[in-house]
Amino acid sequence: MAITPIQPPITKLAGKNPADAPGLFANLVSGIVGLLLIVAALYSFLQFFLGGLSWMTSGGDKSKVEAAQKRITNAIIGLVITFSCWAIFLLIFQFLGISGPGPNINLTFPTLF
């Protein structure tokens, strides 16, 4: 069994010198955005499921069916907004050179020359 010095785990999180700070901040923002997008998508899917469940158990009551339809419509709108935000953040992160949540998309912008 070899004896080795214990490396402080915080250096992997905080970096070893002040020059690492911008990259760490970018990783923090990217992680927070990714987490929020996952939570929003899961919430929208949950609302979609609950809307379908309430529609099936409405028993033909018109007000319950309309409430379920509205819930499903709002869930679909929420999913569209969530995935639109994801695409916008990918574009912003690509423009700033930050690796964001999801695949890196290599965009080439048209130039005149």
Domain count, the chain: 1
pLDDT digits over 1-28, tens only? 667 776 655 555 555 666 666 667 777 7
> For the ranges 46-50, 57-61, 86-90, 103-107, which has the lowest average pLDDT?
103-107
| Full-model pTM | 0.66
- Please report, for residues 3, 28, 34, 45, 94, the alpha-carbon distance to residue 38 in angstroms, rounded to integers and kept in the order given: 42, 15, 6, 11, 20
Structure tokens at 102: 């999801």
109 within a domain of the structure (yes/no): no
Per the model's pLDDT, the better-predicted residue between 75 and 106 turns out to be 75
59 within a domain of the structure (yes/no): yes
14 within a domain of the structure (yes/no): no
Structure tokens at 30: 């990217």
Domain that holds residue 39: 30-96
Residues 6+ apart with CB under 8 A from 92: 100
54 within a domain of the structure (yes/no): yes
25 within a domain of the structure (yes/no): no
5 within a domain of the structure (yes/no): no
110 within a domain of the structure (yes/no): no
Radius of gyration, alpha carbons of the chain: 22
11 within a domain of the structure (yes/no): no
Sign of CA pseudo-dihedral 110, 111, 112, 113: negative
Average pLDDT over residues 36-42: 89
Query: Residue 58's pLDDT is what?
Result: 92
